[in-house]
Amino acid sequence: IKIVCFVFIGACFFLFWASGNAISEKDFPSERIIQLSNNVVQEPDPSTITLLTYNIGYASGDKNNKGSILSREEVVKNLDQIAQTMTTINADIVALQEVDFAARRTFKINQLNFLQEKTGYPYSAYLVLWNKKYLPWPYWPLSLHFGKIVSGQAVLSRYPIESQKVTFFKKPENNPFWYNWFYLHRAGQAVTLKMGDQKAVIWNVHLEAFDGEARYSQARLLAKSVVETAADIKFVLGDFNSASLVDHNRLQGETVEESAESLQFFLKKTGFKNAEIPAPLYTMPSWNPVKKIDHVLYTTPYVMKKGGVPPQLTASDHLPVWGTFGY
């Protein structure tokens, strides 16, 4: 009985310790708007605007979600490639998902700071979705489970960011409660921008990947937020984990768990359009893209002028999507 009690008490203390924040709110706020005073640029004419969404996979390249160990040189190389892609596309607004702000796995590089300084965007806003000192992944060796990991998503902009509003989504109810203790949060990150004399709201999202019911629920909540928000200009960008396109002829063992149901519901409910050109382009996995789960969604007064998916990028397991719009 003493041994059982000792193990139980030890397990409780471990769970209490492991589920606590790795970094305090005081030391690293869970959300923040940043303005780099040394990056002064002329605001673009909002009559033509280019947007980019990119799930950068913590700059882990094709090792993301595989449990492989990265070197610092690999992380920096991938971040440099991401920065170069952002510069080449020359987007006015960039939405990033899976960004490490302070993480043992990526050598404590603040990836938002790295990319903002490399690309010269004067404004950014970030949101923390994971702040833990224990992550049970990869499964082996166990020593890799320990260490601070603070990550989330971010928006970079050439237009002033006036405010940020966050809508947290529920974790999958089908997961055991103890599983959700170590399951990342997901949220809709809505940033309000000043574009000339117009108010614009940009949503950056990363919906549930593994539970279709939870993903659909999140899409409903996101659609409600978008419809009820008053703004002259609205765009929704991000990783929906909902496939609008699938190339079944090239799956080669890749699974397609992401049904289009959530995306289709969102488009129908909001009246938004998906920025896709006639030639089918896919975003994942980057080394053999066979499905498009990353999207730039738009509505009036804009029409799509051009867009695409840059090929042959290995900085993440996703490829970015960009679009240029005008009116």
| pLDDT greater than 50 at residue 46 | yes
Instruction: Report the Cα–Cα distance between both ends of the chain, in Å, rounded.
Output: 74
Find the helix or strand (DSSP H, E) in which 22 lies: none
pLDDT value for 166: 96
Q: Once rounded to an integer, what is the mean pLDDT over residues 246-265?
A: 77
Q: How far apart, in Å, are the Cα atoms of 127 and each of 30, 82, 110, 279? A: 6, 19, 13, 34
| pLDDT greater than 80 at residue 136 | no
| pLDDT greater than 50 at residue 13 | no
From CA 57, how far away is CA 106, in angstroms rounded? 11
> Are 230 and 267 in contact, with CB atoms under 8 Å apart?
no
pLDDT value for 139: 65
> Are 229 and 201 in contact, with CB atoms under 8 Å apart?
yes
Q: Once rounded to an integer, what is the mean pLDDT over residues 72-98?
A: 97
pLDDT value for 284: 92
pLDDT value for 32: 97
- Range of lowest pLDDT (106-110, 156-160, 312-316): 312-316
Confidence bin at 182 (pLDDT 50/70/90): confident
Average pLDDT, the chain: 89
Query: How many Cβ atoms sit within 10 Å of the Cβ of residue 254?
Result: 14
* 86 or 144, higher pLDDT: 86
| Unique residue bearing structure tokens 């529920």 | 170
Contacts of 115 (CB under 8 A, 6+ apart): 79, 82, 83, 86, 96, 156
Q: Which two tokens stand for residue 20?
A: 């606590």
Confidence bin at 57 (pLDDT 50/70/90): very high
CA dihedral 138, 142, 144, 145 (to 10 degrees): 80
Confidence bin at 44 (pLDDT 50/70/90): confident
